[in-house]
Structure 1
Amino acid sequence: MPFDVNAVRISLAIIMLSVASYTDIKKREIDDRIWMIFGGLSVVMLFLTSDISHSLVTIGVSLIVAPIALLVWRIGFFGGADAFALIVLASLAPGATLSGYQINPFTTLINAVLLSIIPVLVNVIRNVVSILRHEDIFEGFENETQKNKIIAMFIGHRSKNPKFSFSIEKRDGNSRKLDFTLKNADNAEFCSLSDTWVTPGVPYMIYIFGGFIVQLVFGDMIFNLMGML
């Protein structure tokens, strides 16, 4: 049986993202040695290809995502580990796909962004159910604007015992106010207060892993869904 470099690349990428996602869920941190190990393996895989020059071009094109990932990290939308995952993934399994659907250097990231919308839907459903149960989810927020209350229903929920979540409220004198200030993914502390409005701190690594799996079987979600219309 001939040696299938592409299959090995994909397998290594899945292993890397599986380990990273597991540790991120359990510890909310990822050991940098993961990126060192799999980054090193990406170099090894380069020398196992039949056409190194072609592989270098493919990797170079895939690494276009690197400056974008680093910029998004520095802004604070996701953590450094997420940026490193995308960069190593671009060199470990560049252009990886198991289907004939369209992909590009940003496919995994685009898919991850779309998958990250899922918690928004969960928040809305959770809050609507609470309201239908006649729960006063905005008790103490009588002075808050209707617009902010609607926004809060999309990005968070009121939790009695939050865990791995970020607070989206603050005290304003004797009243409570919603606070939608952007939290830096690397520096923000999880909320430890009870009965407070929070936004879920879902590890972005899970979305990257999911985005890569979608890339393998469906390609770029936006372009391919538009192509079906």
Structure 2
Amino acid sequence: MEFDIVEIRIILLLVMLGIGGVYDFKTRKIPDILWLVFGGTGAILYLWDYHNMTPYHIIAILTSTFIGVAIWRWKIAGLADAFAIIAIAVILPVHYEFMMMPIMILVMAFFIMVVGLMMYNISLNLAEMIRTKTWIFSEFKSESKFKKTLAFLAIHRKRKRETFVISAEKKHLTESVTKAFVFLSYRNKTIRENQIIQSNKQFVQNVPPLITFMFGVAVFVVT
């Protein structure tokens, strides 16, 4: 069975994201060598299909690289996520003649991930309110209604089964107020040092496996 270069690039992309997705799901840590090996292999393939490169391909690679660096610098995602986007840009910058694959995969994965997290937080917060028959954020006395609404979508009280979470609250400096919201980024050192929040009374924010979502989206897009 013969494969053309595009098919090889697609297989390379799916295998890379599949391996990265497993690491991300299990540990939230991905070896940098993964992106170097697969991205480097994708670059080497240009020795055979350089004639297919167009200015649009180059624009896609540069744009995706910029976006990858930007989401890392702006603390929207981790460094591994940025490396993944850059590696995708090198392996398969454009597919179906016009689709910028790295951007398409990132946008779709991020959208699905955010919606999923919101539904997860809403369900847990509603369940707690029904169980306790009290407003869930009553201890956050100084926070505005807008922040409390945002918190209802973004955070929840930690469950025993949860591991990959970061704290979403802090103690206020004044004596009259006990707590305040802290919507932390996914580059918080709590995750880098693999520390686990033990208190089940603390409000937390999940750290989702973005690469796992990107793998799912990539499978859907290319098939």
TM-score for both structures, normalised by structure 2: 0.82
Give the Cα–Cα distance (whole angstroms) in 1 for the partners of residues 132 and 27 of structure 2. Answer: 36
On the 8 A contact 2:168/2:184 being kept in 1, the answer is: no
1:76-121 CA-partner distances (Å, limit 9, x unpaired): 1111111111111111122235xx9x73352122212211221112
Give me the whole-angstrom Cα distance separating, in 1, the residues matched to 2:43 and 2:159. 48
- Deviation, 1:164, is 1.0
User: Within 5 A, what are the aligned runs for 1:50-129?
Assistant: 52-55=50-53, 57=55, 59-63=57-61, 64-96=63-95, 103-104=99-100, 106-117=103-114, 118-129=116-127
Change in 2 beyond 3 A, CA 1:186/1:148: closer
Corresponding letter in the other structure for 1:176 = T
SS at match of 2:17: helix
The alpha-carbon distance between structure 1 residues 39 and 143, as it changes in their structure 2 partners (threshold 3 A), is closer
Percent pairwise identity: 26
After the TM superposition, which residues 164-175 of structure 1 pair with which residues of structure 2 at under 5 Å, given as runs?
Answer: 164-172=164-172, 173=174, 175=177
User: Is the Cα contact below 8 Å between 1:62 and 1:91 reproduced in 2?
Assistant: no
Unaligned runs of 5+ in 1: 218-229
Verify the 8 A CA contact 1:103 1:215 in the aligned structure 2: no
The answer to whether 1:200 aligns with 2:206 is yes
Alignment map for 1:172-183 (pairs within 5 Å): 172=172, 173=174, 175-183=177-185
Q: Which residue identity lines up with residue 179 of structure 2 in the other structure?
A: K
Report the Cα offset of residue 151 of structure 1.
1.5
Give the Cα separation in 1 of the matches to 2:183 and 2:3: 51
Query: 1:6-17 to 2 correspondence within 5 Å?
Result: 6-17=6-17
Amino acid at match of 1:130: E
User: Given residue 104 of structure 1, which amino acid in structure 2 is its aligned partner?
Assistant: M
| Change over 3 Å in CA distance of 1:180–1:213 after alignment to 2 | farther
Q: Which amino acid aligns with 2:45?
A: M
Shift of 1:193: 4.0
Structure 1 Cα separation of the partners of residues 36 and 142 of structure 2: 51
User: Which structure features the higher share of helix residues?
Assistant: 2
- Structure 1 residue matching 2:94: 3-state secondary structure: coil
User: Deviations for 1:170-225, whole angstroms, at most 9, x for unmatched residues?
Assistant: 11255432323442x334314514111111111222232233234324xxxxxxxx
- Number of matched residues? 211
Q: TM-score, normalised by structure 1?
A: 0.80
Query: Using a 3 Å threshold, how does the CA distance of structure 1 residues 188 and 147 change in structure 2: closer, same or farther?
Result: same
Q: CA deviation at 1:169?
A: 0.8
SS at match of 2:48: coil
Q: Give the Cα–Cα distance (whole angstroms) in 1 for the partners of residues 86 and 150 of structure 2.
A: 33
Alpha-carbon contact 2:167-2:184 (below 8 Å) kept: no
- Specify the alignment match of 1:188 in structure 2: 189
Classify 1:211/1:3 alpha carbon distance in 2 versus 1 (closer, same or farther; 3 Å).
Answer: closer
C-alpha displacement at 1:141, in angstroms? 3.3
Q: Which moved more, 1:138-147 or 1:73-82?
A: 138-147
Amino acid at match of 2:187: D
